[in-house]
Amino acid sequence: MNSYKENLKQIKQLLKKNDAKIIAHYYVNETIQKITEDTNGCVSDSLQMAKFGINQKESCLIVAGVKFMGETAKILNPEKKVYVLDIEATCSLDLSCPADEFSEFCKQYPDREVVVYANTSADVKSIADWVVTSSMAVPLITHLTSQGKKIIWAPDKYLGNYIIDRTGADMILWDGSCIVHEEYKTQSLKKMIQKYQDCDILVHPESPRSIIQLADTVGSTTDLIKASKKSNHKYIIVATEKNIFYQMKKLSPNKIFLEAPTEGEGATCKSCGKCPWMEMNSVQKILNVFNKKNEIILDKNIISKAKIPINKMVSFQSNQLTNRAS
């Protein structure tokens, strides 16, 4: 097996030869995150991943994450070649929402705005009015609600319920869930909080309501990383994919990071806090990525339709940042 240094050297050469840059999600393993940083790529959430790609001069993007992230990169950069490390690496939310079924569902509510989570296929995005990431969901739905809009939300029912709780929006929810976040266990988490009293509890909003209710901070991956840095507590209990610990530990080497429990009452441990599809990303696959079977190919028509709701999200976020600054 090659050392980190040898792998990095080979990957740098490969990127140069193929005019490529790596974009990685916080949920891929630590070594891939490190390689991405050491090759001036971007490690972030899916919104920042999508935006980063647009500003790169390279003609080729390698997405370390899951398929919908590669598709979003392709939609925003149709002139670039976009590769994923494993085309089979998908997402339970994406799988739970097939475009044809979702389209039929939407037809039943023609007066509603269709808002979909980033964790969906390009086909589903192409029939949406808006795409949002978890960092944008509450502000966007607050905005739409203030305009008197009623909403169809897909696919994550837990995130949907969290948004309703926060905004009072009138939303009809698709019945999807993330197999990682769905598994956190309330009673076991309560016991853990009792054991580690000097703790902060950080929860991703794809988690069930009873877990969210125990949180000190609820937010996107980026929000949770920031909260972990800001915390004055010794123990940080985290309810999201555990590969995020790499970024958190870098920012706070003296804090102790603990995974929220997935064992306990009714546990099935399908995921045990680890996304099986994110796990399909590996360093070896970066070395072999330039292969037709890993390339994201999308229909031009789908690209032009899916681009509209994604660009609306990007503009909405930019306006928010401008308003905050002024």
- Between 118 and 151, name the residue whose CB sits nearer to ligand CIZ: 118
Q: Is 36 in the site for ligand CIZ (CB under 6 A)?
A: no
Q: Is 46 in the site for ligand CIZ (CB under 6 A)?
A: yes
- What is the number of other CB atoms lying within 10 angstroms of the CB of residue 282? 16
- Between 26 and 235, name the residue whose CB sits nearer to ligand CIZ: 26
Q: Is 134 in the site for ligand CIZ (CB under 6 A)?
A: yes
Task: Build a one-symbol-per-residue string for 221-240: x at contacts with ligand CIZ by CB under 6 A, - elsewhere.
Answer: x-------------------
Considering only residues 6 to 25 of the shown chain, the ones binding ligand CIZ according to CB under 6 A are 25
- Between 245 and 292, name the residue whose CB sits nearer to ligand CIZ: 245
- Given a contact cutoff of 8 angstroms between Cβ atoms, the answer to whether 14 and 287 are in contact is yes
CA dihedral 320, 323, 324, 326 (to 10 degrees): 160
Which listed range, 10-18, 41-49, 75-83, 226-234, lies at the site for ligand CIZ (CB under 6 A)? 41-49
Give the shortest CB-8-to-ligand CIZ separation in angstroms: 25
Sign of the alpha-carbon torsion through 318, 323, 325, 326: positive
In degrees, rounded to 5, the angle at the alpha carbon of residue 86 between the alpha carbons of residues 85 and 92 is 120
Pairwise CA distance, residues 303 & 1, whole Å: 40
Three-class SS state of 116 = strand
Q: Is 220 in the site for ligand CIZ (CB under 6 A)?
A: yes
Pairwise CA distance, residues 53 & 272, whole Å: 31
Give the shortest CB-187-to-ligand CIZ separation in angstroms: 25
Q: Is 45 in the site for ligand CIZ (CB under 6 A)?
A: yes
Pairwise CA distance, residues 119 & 238, whole Å: 21
Pairwise CA distance, residues 315 & 313, whole Å: 5
Q: Is 33 in the site for ligand CIZ (CB under 6 A)?
A: no
Which listed range, 33-41, 44-52, 146-154, 287-295, lies at the site for ligand CIZ (CB under 6 A)? 44-52
Give the shortest CB-204-to-ligand CIZ separation in angstroms: 6
Q: Is 133 in the site for ligand CIZ (CB under 6 A)?
A: yes
Considering only residues 156 to 215 of the shown chain, the ones binding ligand CIZ according to CB under 6 A are 204
Which listed range, 40-48, 156-164, 208-216, 278-286, lies at the site for ligand CIZ (CB under 6 A)? 40-48
- Between 133 and 243, name the residue whose CB sits nearer to ligand CIZ: 133
Three-class SS state of 163 = helix
Task: Annotate 182-233 with three-state secondary structure.
Answer: HHCCHHHHHHHHHHCCCEEEEECCCCCHHHHCCCCEECCHHHHHHHHHHCCC
Considering only residues 73 to 132 of the shown chain, the ones binding ligand CIZ according to CB under 6 A are 118-119
Which listed range, 45-53, 103-111, 250-258, 292-300, lies at the site for ligand CIZ (CB under 6 A)? 45-53
- Given a contact cutoff of 8 angstroms between Cβ atoms, the answer to whether 221 and 240 are in contact is yes
- Given a contact cutoff of 8 angstroms between Cβ atoms, the answer to whether 240 and 203 are in contact is yes
Q: DSSP string covering 276-326, please? A: TTGGG--HHHHHT--SGGGB----HHHHHHHHHHHHHHHHHHHHHHHHHH-
Number of residues that bind ligand CIZ (CB under 6 A): 11
Binding stretches for ligand CIZ (CB under 6 A)? 25, 45-47, 118-119, 133-134, 204, 220-221
